[in-house]
Structures are given as structure tokens and as C-alpha cells.
Structure 1
């Protein structure tokens, strides 16, 4: 079953749609199937009443530790109509890391899934959460069934309602994660968020219009959750995957007539690795906009996806903190390798190390600003100030603007290799090596070299059935010699069974790089 066609007078907004079209399909849960707008709102309303009954007030926080599913969304939308901050936790974290998020956010309720029982119990205990604040989907020792949170509560919306907000934690690969806590807007949650409508407008996604969104990545990622929640607000059915598999994605696109999705480049690579007969087996003609970000996409991968799916592939570059760029498939064919121009209201500048603005074509640090929007890292003024120059901030990425204002990214500044005084960007090397048919995944970084300071190391995950060894190394280096300048060639290649990525494709490069530097430090 897919989304019902919109009526001419239909109004966007989760609660409005539930009032006007309660039987319209809002969510397709990966295990439990179709849920209507009426059913989703009833669950969110019961949760909201239950949270108020626990004593939570506007400005308080809750933490969700749950897989993709309707239960996560019910908790999320309960917070979003109750003036609460909601932290959606990466379920790969261990108990102590989750405890930090509970404590740092000041959460007064914790809704976890039995799939993550061990880490949930450890986190709640370490954070000192009382038993009355612990709720479980399924069975978790010491947790109350989540059904008790809304037990006996009405399905109708609470009398006191004001818009809540996600409390987002940015990259935890260096030090403690940084919480971004924006001031609450005071908006009426019954209205579809204007920011969401504006954001989808960048990609040409309008309310209703027979849209179906496919979510294949975990919703603890900011962008993934945004795409799902905005889709639902705009009357787009959200089809959720529990675990992303390339052929299953193609099957769901055909079965549910999916129109848009949010993906990452590693998913493109895995889709392209499918045998041609598998790729051609499924009808993907319903797709209108497949949007990708979160990591650099090798040019050849992007080109092959455009050849297969047509110019429906859109790229964006953005930050939790605000601001970004976007580029359509048609534009990218004219400006290959670019991540686009600033979207409306956003400003992008390239600054040198002295905060001077650089002209077109010169490489420097990318700084952004979104209108007059401001943010701060929760309880960390120093981190806030370190990321800013004036009213602009940086994610630490390096790039340049061309003469038409299109942004090109080179790499993360922290990942840049300096060998013999020359700046080398690993992303370019990774983009060439990953296209070799015997490479499933690759990471490139700098390791110590007594003469040059750093030398280039490649760590490769061989494709299934491929044996690692000297013969493969020589084959890969020969492949690279025809595509890269000599100074960009890896000096050595190591092999691992699997690179440390999270399900959204983010590579934890420090886990690979640090041992090489630790060995150097221990030898000094």
C-alpha cells in the first residue's frame, strides 16, 4: 500500500493530516507494516501526555535509543509537540558513551529498545536515572514497558503544546561529542514547520504530490531523521528499512513507487557492485530525487549513478550547525565534482589561516553561515568559539569556490597529508582506488616518515573473494599510476577485513591512523 493521492484542499503538517486524512499511510514500519497518520498521532499524543505526567516541562530533554520504526517516531513527535529537546542516540555507542549523552543533555526520560538492552541498562545506571524515567520497547530489566508511558492517556493532543527541538550531537570522533542546543521557537506544532518546507523546496519536493520517501539509514543521523520527519509532515509516506541492503532498496523502490530518498556515497558504490542483471531487474522509474551528502562522492561513482538513474541524483553539503550548498544532477554534469552553490539564505566563504577571504580558485578552509541563525555547543563555549570566525563557522573542511560560486571540497583539514611540504588530499586518492573492481572500500591517510614528515598509506578492504597480498598491492598501485601524479601515490598498502564505518557511511579514520602514530611515539 502506498500514499493516497492528496485532495486539492489537503493541508501539510502531521496533526492536520491526521485530522483531515486519518487513514492516509504515514509510515511503513520494517517489521509491523503500514501505520496511518491517525495511528501515529494517537501514539505520539499518548506519549506526550505520559511525559507531562512524569513531570517533564518545556525545555526538558528525553533520549531515544531505538532502531528505525514507528516507536522511535512516536517518541520523537511526542517531544516535538511538548516543547522538549529530543536526543536520538547512535545505538553503536557503548553504555558509558550513552550515559554521557543522558547526563550532558539533562534527560528526564529514556526510551530504549530491547535490542540494545545491555547498553541501555549500563547507560541508565551510570547516569543515575530513576526507574520511573526508564521505558522499554520490549523487555529490558529495570525498565517499564513503553506502553505504560501512555497507559490510560487520551489519544487527543495535549492542551499545552509548543514546538520542541532535536538536540543534536555532532561528531564524536575527537573527544566528547558536542551538543547543539538551539533556542525553542515557540511555534505551534500543529503547523508544518516552515523550515522543513523551505528545505525540501531546495530539492523540488512539495507537499503531497504522491511522494514516497525511502529511509535506508539509521534515524539517529541528523539528516536521515530530518528527511523522514519532514516527509511525514508534508504528506509523504516514509518507508523505513531496518538494515540497508542494495537489492532490497531496489525492490522497495519498485514495490512502493518510491520518489525520493537520502543516501550516502558508500551506498552508491554497493548498488553499482550488484551484477548488471540484478540492477536491471527492478523498475526505478518512479524516482524523482535521490539526495546524497555526509561524505565525498568519487566523480566516477556519481557519473555511473547518473548514467543508471538519470539526472535525479542531487548532492548537498551541510552542517548540523546551519548553512549549506546543493547541486542538481543537471548542474553536476556541467560542474563535475562540485557540491554546489549556497542555498537561499546561506553564505559560503573560503578563508586562509589568518581569516582572510580567498579569491576564486584558491584552496582554504570552508566557512558557512545560515542567515542570522546562531548556535552554541552545549556547555562548551570554547568549542563554539574555536569553530567560528566572526558570525561564520567551519566544519574543518578544505575547498575552493570557482568563478561561478560553485563549491569544491578537497578534504577534511584534519585528514590532509603534508609530505615534503606538499598538501595532499586523501579523498582524491580514495576516489581513484575505490573504483578498482577488487576494492570494496579504502581509506588513505598520512603515517610518519623521517625524511618527508608524512607518507601516504592506503588501507584496503578487498572485494569478496579477493586475496590480499603483494600481487594485489602491485595491481592497485599500477591502477593508481595511470590516474594520479607520482607524489599522490601510496607508499604502502595494508589490508583489513572491514573498514570502521558507521551505518551511514561515515569512516572513523582515526581508528585506522592512530596505531601508526602510536607506534612512532612509543619508539621515541
Structure 2
């Protein structure tokens, strides 16, 4: 059978659609022919350094032209990409780069010092440290290597569908990082199936403002190249430039995480009347509270999609055609995928009962790199155990209840933070909310709400209002914690464990304060 691989996608577009605009980053605008020549230069520079099939190429880079091109240069060589967050430092860099068996790393002058600090503990050969934006002592200058490299096609690698393309790390802060492996076949499925699900065409213009080192970016990154449309990459997310770029570039498709959507919705310009080219806005990364969904659907009719999924590979997509009828849902599994809701024993639960979401399909990881025991725990008989809780309605639509680890058990009863968050966010003074559990002598655990206010309100008044609107006694919140800014990871997800720590520290200080 002909292998399903991604190494020749760019080459084909350069041959058959050479003059179509392929890539935009700042002032850089490249056609497919121009992009292909530049990527070939990178691929040939990597070959000169000894990079070949199966070798690990790591990046510690923010969004940039070079980071984007690395994805495709590595594919052309059959090498393995290991994209890392540029926010990782110290022990995190050592953990990730060594765990991945990285053979070469690309970074920029801003982040090179952090790598220099840990070089003595890294497995990377001394000559394989490249800096992309100039010259630096002890580093290879990528601009020089690029200038001297050939722009012709490198020899095609002998690839099979299940050959490894990338390793995605979700965290570098622990002593045992998990590298999630994706094959060329999986990325081919991302390209083809998500292009279909999101109605992406060769004439589409896709914009991405989040970091492309995260797997969520691949939801449109891969379809853009598979279909051969224009991909507009921003350096970072800032609401006003995002809105301006949608207008100036005629953007049709964009992904935003919930915290970014909330920020955009604060602008009166974020509406279909001022941004008429938009056909698709995807919310991904965390559940979007219903109040914001409703506001987004009102401003952008027939454009809202929501995706639930894991880097490990199970996905559901809420289509724009049902987003108004199933606002609280994340829809059903995408093509060729299956889903079950199961109890702790792995038995399937009936409609309406909350349990762990498990799934299978063509996006599934082949496992965690060098972690056979953790792989066996997550992947059981072809099913991915997600660690997320949810239930299905009578039509088979999935509704999320939260992370298994975030579940609050109060008086022996399961309390789902999302249910309480949906109530609190309805208060006009609340701009953002996150609910987490704390220990309680009588109940075992009890809910606490962290809030960011849009307008002033007393916390006592807000707590009373919330508890009056909560029907079940066991769901009533114990306390409210005010915060000016929520702790979030680089992907925009709220860190509830940090909120818990902040709450406990606040209580300790209050108890230790003089009366």
C-alpha cells in the first residue's frame, strides 16, 4: 500500500500551485515555490550536519518563519521534530532534550543563554547548537548555513506510514516528562480529516496566533499544507492585532483558546459585521463556558466550532450547524473514531451518567517515547483513557464535566467544577472564574471559586448570590478568592493547582496575622 506521509506535501504544491501565497509572518510573504526553496535550504543544511531519517531535531523557539519551516524541512528528511516551549528553563530543558535523544537544537539569541547554562548536561553534540537570528559565540549561525545550502530537493527518504514524525511534550517541569509520539500517518489524518471537518479549501486563509509548538496548532497547521491554502502566523496573541490581521488578510479560519476568545469578545470590533471574511472560529484547549459561547455565536452566526481532544489523539468536533442547538456539548467523535463513557472498572455507562471518556481513532499516538508502562496505562486494547469526565445525551452528543483529577468529592458526592463555573460566570460582575476543591474536616472536600471581576462587588454578596443559584447543597461554594490575573500555562489553560496553592497561602497568612 502507498504510504501516507507528509514529506512531499510542500513539494507538490510548489510544483502545481507555485505562485499561490503560502505563508505570511510579519513582513514575510512567501509563495509555495519560494517557501519550498527556503525549506529545501534548511533541509540540506540539516543533511550537511548529519541529520537523516529518525534523527531528533529539537526547537526552542517562539513563533517565527524558521520555526514554521523546520516542521517541513524535518518532514522532507524523514527526521523527527521535537518542538518545545521557549518558556522552559533549567532542569526542564535538560529533562526534555535528553529524554527525546535530541541530536540538534535550533533556538534564537534570546533563548540561547538558557541552553548555554545547561549544555554540560545535554546529550547534543557540541557542533549541533544552531541560532537562527545571527551569530553567537559557540553556536552555528543558521543564516550562514542557510545561505550556503542548496535550494534543490533533498533525496526523498524511504518512509512508511507509521514512521515517527514528531514528539510533543506536554510539560517539562517534572522529572519524568512524557513525549507523545505522532507518525506520518497520524499527521496525514490531521491534514485530511480536519480539512474536511473545518471546511478548509485551497482559497482559505488560516491565521494562527498561539504558539505552534503545541499540538492544538496542528488542527489547522496540517490542513493548511494538505489543502494548499494561505497560512498566516502571528508572533503571539494580542487581541487587537489579531482582530486587525483578520481584517487586513481576509482571514477565513482561526483557532483561539477560551481565554483568548474572552479577550477578543471585549472588543466591539470582534463581530461578523467588521470581520466579514470569517467562516470558522474554533475554540480549543479547555471548555468554553456557555455564556461566552452564546455571545460568540450571536456575534458570529454559523461560524463557531468547538473541539475537545487530547494530544494523545482522541477528538470530537462541535460543528457550526449544531452549535446553537447543542451549545453545552462538544459534539461527537470525528470520522472513523469511536467513544465510550466508562466507570472505574472500564464498564460502559448508560446515557446521561458521568464517567471517564475513552476513545479510539486515526489520530491516536503510538505511545509515550521510551515510556512503555505509561503507554500501556493510557492505551488499553486500542482505546485511549483520557482522564476526562463527561456524559452523552440521547443523541450521542458529548458533554464535558471536567478533569478526573479536578473532581471534588464532597460528603461522598461527586461535584463537577464546570457546573459551578457555569453559574458564577452569569453574575454581571464576574469576568473569569475557576472552581477547585480544598480539604474540609466534615465534607472531605469543598468547592472554592477564584474570580476575576469586571466590576466591583463584595465577595460576601457574590458568594450569597452563587449559593442561592446552586440547587444542590453539596455544590455550594465554601469561599471566593479574588485574583487580578489567573495563572495560566503557555497554552492559555488555567492552572487550578496553582490557584489551590495561592488559596492555602492566603489562609496561612490570615491565620498568622496579628489580631
Tell me if TM exceeds 0.5.
yes
Kindly indicate whether residue 140 of structure 2 is the aligned counterpart of residue 144 of structure 1. yes
1:33, distance to aligned residue in structure 2 (A): 3.0
- Which position in structure 2 is the counterpart of 1:273? 266
Pair 1:38-2:33 in alignment: yes
- Asked whether the equivalents of residues 456 and 488 of structure 1 are also in contact (C-alpha less than 8 Å), the reply is yes
1:282-297 maps to which residues of 2 (within 5 A)?
283-297=274-288
State the partner residue of 2:179: 179
> Any residues of structure 2 matched to 1:119-518 within 5 Å, and which?
119-139=114-134, 140-162=136-158, 165-171=165-171, 176-182=176-182, 193=188, 195-206=190-201, 208=202, 210-274=203-267, 276=268, 278-279=269-270, 283-371=274-362, 375-463=366-454, 471-481=457-467, 483-485=469-471, 486-514=473-501
Q: Does 1:71 align with 2:71?
A: no
1:80 and 2:71 are equivalent in the alignment: no
Q: Does the 8 Å contact 1:284/1:309 carry over to 2?
A: no
Cα drift, residue 107 of structure 1: 1.0
| CA deviation vs aligned residue, 1:36-94 (integer Å, no higher than 9, x gap) | 22222122111111212112221111111112121111111110111111011111111
Distance 1:415 1:217 in 2: 25
CA distance in 2, matches of 1:85, 1:454: 45
Contact 1:264/1:295, CA 8 A, preserved across alignment: yes
Checking the alignment, whether the CA contact within 8 Å between 1:136 and 1:144 is kept in structure 2 is yes
Given that 1:22 and 1:36 are in contact with CA atoms closer than 8 Å, whether structure 2 keeps it comes out as yes
Under a length normalisation based on structure 2, what TM-score does the superposition of the two structures give?
A: 0.89
SS of residue in 2 equivalent to 1:329: coil
Q: Deviations over 1:311-354 (max 9, x none)?
A: 21111212222222111133122222111111111110011011
Taking structure 1 as the reference length, the TM-score comes to 0.88
- Do the aligned partners of residues 225 and 184 (structure 1) sit closer, same or farther apart at CA in structure 2, a change above 3 Å counting? closer
- In the TM superposition, residue 273 of structure 1 has moved relative to its aligned partner by 2.1
* 1:330-380 deviations in Å (ceiling 9; x for gaps): 312222211111111111001101111111111110001115956211111
CA 1:286–1:167 in 2, change beyond 3 Å: closer, same or farther?
A: same
Corresponding residue SS for 2:324:
helix
What's the CA shift for 1:194? 5.5
Calculate the aligned-residue CA RMSD, in Å. 2.7
CA distance in structure 2 between the aligned counterparts of 1:391 and 1:213, rounded to whole angstroms? 33
| Equivalent position of 1:6 in the other structure | none
Whether contact under 8 Å (1:26, 1:238) holds in the other structure is yes
3-state SS of 2:148 partner = coil
1:205, CA displacement in angstroms?
1.8
Matched, 1:101 2:92: no
In 1: Cα distance, 2:506 partner to 2:381 partner? 40
Deviations 1:219-273 (A, max 9, x none): 1111214422431332221111212122222211111111101111112211222
Over residues 189-217 of structure 1, what are the superposed CA-to-partner deviations in whole Å (9 max), with x where a residue is unaligned?
xxx946412221122223x1x20001011
Which residue in the other structure is 2:5 paired with?
none
Counterpart residue number, 1:7: none
Match of 1:5 in 2: none
Which whole-Å CA distance do the structure 1 matches of 2:247 and 2:458 have between them?
A: 38
CA distance in 2: counterparts of 1:41 and 1:166, whole angstroms: 20
SS, match of residue 81 in structure 1: helix
Q: 1:372 to 1:36 in 2, by over 3 A?
A: closer
CA shift for structure 1 position 281:
9.8
Change (3 A) 1:92 1:303: same
SS of the residue corresponding to residue 149 of structure 1 reads helix
Q: CA deviation at 1:16?
A: 1.7
The 3 A distance-change label for structure 1 pair 498 and 125 is: farther
Does the CA-based 8 Å contact 1:246-1:270 persist in structure 2? yes
Deviation at 1:412, TM superposition (A): 0.3
- How big is each residue's C-alpha offset from its partner over 1:432-482, in whole Å with a ceiling of 9 and x where there is no partner? 33444443432211111111111111222334xx56xxx531242244245
SS at match of 2:103: strand
Q: 1:60 to 1:284 in 2, by over 3 A?
A: same
In the other structure, the counterpart of 1:16 is 12
Structure 1 partner of 2:110: 115
| CA apart distance, 1:152 | 2.2
Secondary structure (helix, strand or coil) at the match of 2:115 reads helix
The CA deviation at 1:284 is: 1.5
User: What is the CA distance between 1:514 and its match in structure 2?
Assistant: 4.1
Distance 1:173 1:53, change over 3 A: closer
Matching residue of 1:3: none
Structure 2: runs of 5+ lacking an equivalent: 1-7
Structure 1, gaps ≥5 residues long = 1-11
